[in-house]
Chains A and B, each alone.
Chain A
Amino acid sequence: MNDLIPLLPKLWQASYETLYIVGLSLIFGGLGGLILGLGLYTTRSNSLFSNRPVFGVLNVLVNVFRPIPFIIFLAAAQPLARFVTGTGIGNTAIIFTLSLAAAFGISRIVEQNLLTVQPGVIEAARSVGASRSRIMLTLLIPEALGPLILGYTFIVVALVDMSAVAGYVGGGGLGTFAIQYGYRQFHPVVTWAAVLVIIVIVQLVQFLGNYLARKALRR
């Protein structure tokens, strides 16, 4: 316990950095994933913008990038991160790479949840003369909102997990804290403290997600 007390300020700093990395990655990756997921959903056959070639390309793109283990993706995408953000290391680089990786994962979750919307509901909207883009924005997303919120909640938890390897490219956060001050210094209590904070974060996120989804689904 005595090992931990002097490190508490660093623990709070690391918690803040984790929230910062996860929060920004959720915004960028979430938006990218939503667009990519809408693309996958609307270009499949019998959908609003059915387009076989476009769907094929998107589908392969997602399938190629999604299964790459994140720690390898982080290394492999470093030149791209440097090109886009100007730096290959630190929190900025990890936010870029994490957003990119998350977008591919989120796109599948978005696609799956949009597929739960009854095709008849889309047909009804078309039958009253709604344009395809109006249906996509004003109907499709609201109809799937409950499951989408749960999907994004799932992704936040995954982002917390993935952000823990930020230390490999010089980023901060609870993963870096746990390895640097706990594991490498032979202070298991310090590691466990980081674990505890992560558990609290995940619980809060899941609670909030469940609450919002319940509200959206009215049950």
Chain B
Amino acid sequence: MPLISLRDVTKSYPPSRRGGDVVHAVEGLDLDIEAGDIYGIIGYSGAGKSTLVRLINALEHATSGSILVDGDEVTRMKESELRRLRLGIGMIFQQFNLFNSKTVAGNVAYPLEVAKTPRADIAPRMAELLDFVGLSDKARNYPEQLSGGQKQRVGIARALATSPRILLADEATSALDPETTHEVLELLKRVNTEFGVTIVVITHEMDVIQTLATKVAVMDGGRIVEQGDVFDVFSKPTEASSQRFVSTVVRGVPSDAELVALRQRHPGRIVTLSFRDGNTSQGAVFSDLAQAGVAFELIYGGINDIRGRVFGHLTLALTGHDDAVDRALVTIANKVDVTEAPSHE
């Protein structure tokens, strides 16, 4: 049985002004997250990602549908039961949301106080947590004395204080620079491997999914439009809306504006070839083109590496007889995915 299971979940907000429309932040959503997963949820801002994670720990209450966490129905819980549920679900935030009136130690101790941990057990647990996140020397510091990365590590220590089974990360690295992002992602990986914590990561950054997630769901308009293995979803999205989103985050796919610019600089027909998992050698494709008498120039491209599996996109400008180009495209279509950019005439 999945650890987290959402069925036909909808969250609507009343119209912000009289006569306005009801806003459906999440609509008819199904999602299963297995214990031990690092589950990425990606999508444009406004897609409903933040609402979705807050439904899991009931910071937001679903309008309809069923939400099971560890077999318990969250939507029917009373306030006191919800408080117990939340002790088992940690959460970290984009803006860290540390308590400014408390020291680092005070921040980490707060959930333990809430959980009525015996006073004598709080100090050792706190020391353990600060050691895990590498901030043992900062226990007496206040949040404003820390860098962004250190703040998020305090956030992680606080979220893990009560040894939760689930960690919700809401754009946890979006306010950090690339290097610090990398450190925090490595730390989250250790949270998963060393403590077996199931992590739900909300992000709009490809890098986060690429380095961290084992599974991914693409959200659009309050629904999950595509989900599955990270490599499959990113190398070959099947739904139109996830294709649109994926093409904005993976390397090597020219945007519409870039295509227009490319077309002005290069004559001929423009095609994008998509390679997956090294199943086709690029050399074979290039020699097919040469044999068909088609000249080509590489004008755009990129290679993506997801946990050791590789896929890439190469955009070529092809020149030659139209018939020859057509024939060549048919031949190489057996080896790679070919997408021809529509000509603007």
Query: Chain A interface (Cβ within 8 Å of chain B)?
Result: 118, 120-121, 123-131, 134, 139, 142-143, 145, 218
B280 within 8 A of A: no
User: Least Cβ distance of B199 to chain A in Å?
Assistant: 15
Q: Which residue of A has the minimal Cβ distance to B87?
A: A129
> When the two chains form their complex, are residues B83 and A120 in contact, meaning their CB atoms are under 8 A apart?
no
> When the two chains form their complex, are residues A124 and B97 in contact, meaning their CB atoms are under 8 A apart?
yes
Residues in A with CB closer than 8 Å to B161 are 128
> When the two chains form their complex, are residues A124 and B99 in contact, meaning their CB atoms are under 8 A apart?
yes
B18 within 8 A of A: no
| 4 tightest A-B CB contacts, nearest first | A128-B111, A142-B101, A124-B97, A129-B86
Residues in A with CB closer than 8 Å to B101 are 139, 142-143, 145
Picked from B59, B99, B155, the residue with its CB within 8 Å of the CB of A126 is: B59
Report how far A129 CA is from B87 CA in the complex, Å. Answer: 5
Given contacts A126-B86, A128-B86, A129-B87, contact A218 B99 (CB under 8 A): no
User: Least Cβ distance of B38 to chain A in Å?
Assistant: 19
Which residues B68-126 have CB closer than 8 A to chain A?
Answer: 79, 83-87, 89-91, 93, 95, 97-102, 110-111, 114-115
B57 within 8 A of A: yes
Residues in A with CB closer than 8 Å to B89 are 127
Report how far A106 CA is from B247 CA in the complex, Å. Answer: 55
Report how far A8 CA is from B258 CA in the complex, Å. Answer: 87
> When the two chains form their complex, are residues A118 and B97 in contact, meaning their CB atoms are under 8 A apart?
yes
> When the two chains form their complex, are residues B114 and A128 in contact, meaning their CB atoms are under 8 A apart?
yes
Residues in A with CB closer than 8 Å to B114 are 128-130, 134
Contact with A along B288-305 (1 / 0, CB 8 A): 000000000000000000
Report how far A123 CA is from B58 CA in the complex, Å. Answer: 11
Residues in B with CB closer than 8 Å to A118 are 95, 97
> When the two chains form their complex, are residues A127 and B59 in contact, meaning their CB atoms are under 8 A apart?
yes
Report how far A201 CA is from B89 CA in the complex, Å. Answer: 52
Chain B's interface size range is: 20 to 34
> When the two chains form their complex, are residues A128 and B87 in contact, meaning their CB atoms are under 8 A apart?
yes
Interface centre among A121, A143, A145 (most CB of B within 10 A): A121
Picked from B100, B110, B155, B162, the residue with its CB within 8 Å of the CB of A125 is: B110
Interface centre among B86, B97, B159, B161 (most CB of A within 10 A): B97
Report how far A128 CA is from B97 CA in the complex, Å. Answer: 12
Residues in A with CB closer than 8 Å to B165 are none
Q: Which residue of A has the minimal Cβ distance to B162?
A: A128
Given A128-B91, A128-B114, A129-B84, 6 other A-B contacts at CB below 8 A?
A118-B95, A118-B97, A123-B93, A124-B99, A127-B59, A130-B114
Residues in B with CB closer than 8 Å to A142 are 99, 101-102
Q: Which residue of B has the minimal Cβ distance to A144?
A: B101
B245 within 8 A of A: no
Q: Can you identify 26 A-B contacts, CB atoms within 8 angstroms?
A: A118-B95, A123-B93, A124-B99, A124-B155, A125-B99, A127-B57, A127-B86, A127-B90, A127-B168, A128-B111, A128-B114, A128-B158, A128-B162, A129-B86, A129-B87, A129-B114, A129-B115, A129-B162, A130-B114, A131-B79, A134-B114, A139-B101, A139-B110, A142-B102, A145-B101, A218-B144
> When the two chains form their complex, are residues A123 and B59 in contact, meaning their CB atoms are under 8 A apart?
yes
Picked from B83, B97, B158, the residue with its CB within 8 Å of the CB of A129 is: B83
Residues in B with CB closer than 8 Å to A126 are 59, 86
> When the two chains form their complex, are residues A218 and B86 in contact, meaning their CB atoms are under 8 A apart?
no
> When the two chains form their complex, are residues B59 and A128 in contact, meaning their CB atoms are under 8 A apart?
no
Residues in B with CB closer than 8 Å to A130 are 83, 110-111, 114
Which residues B105-154 have CB closer than 8 A to chain A?
Answer: 110-111, 114-115, 142, 144
User: Least Cβ distance of A148 to chain B in Å?
Assistant: 11
Residues in B with CB closer than 8 Å to A129 are 83-87, 111, 114-115, 162
Given contacts A129-B111, A129-B115, contact A124 B87 (CB under 8 A): no
Report how far A121 CA is from B99 CA in the complex, Å. Answer: 6
Report how far A98 CA is from B111 CA in the complex, Å. Answer: 41
Interface centre among A130, A139, A218 (most CB of B within 10 A): A130
Residues in A with CB closer than 8 Å to B98 are 121, 124
Report how far A145 CA is from B102 CA in the complex, Å. Answer: 12
> When the two chains form their complex, are residues B93 and A124 in contact, meaning their CB atoms are under 8 A apart?
yes
Report how far A123 CA is from B100 CA in the complex, Å. Answer: 14
User: Least Cβ distance of A195 to chain B in Å?
Assistant: 39
Q: Which residue of B has the minimal Cβ distance to A131?
A: B83
Q: Which residue of A has the minimal Cβ distance to B88?
A: A129
Residues in B with CB closer than 8 Å to A125 are 99, 110
User: Least Cβ distance of B41 to chain A in Å?
Assistant: 17
User: Least Cβ distance of B163 to chain A in Å?
Assistant: 12
User: Least Cβ distance of B209 to chain A in Å?
Assistant: 23
Picked from B84, B91, B93, B99, the residue with its CB within 8 Å of the CB of A143 is: B99
Q: Which residue of B has the minimal Cβ distance to A135?
A: B114
Residues in B with CB closer than 8 Å to A127 are 57, 59, 86, 89-91, 159, 168
Residues in B with CB closer than 8 Å to A134 are 114
Which residues B34-88 have CB closer than 8 A to chain A?
Answer: 57, 59, 79, 83-87
User: Least Cβ distance of B152 to chain A in Å?
Assistant: 12
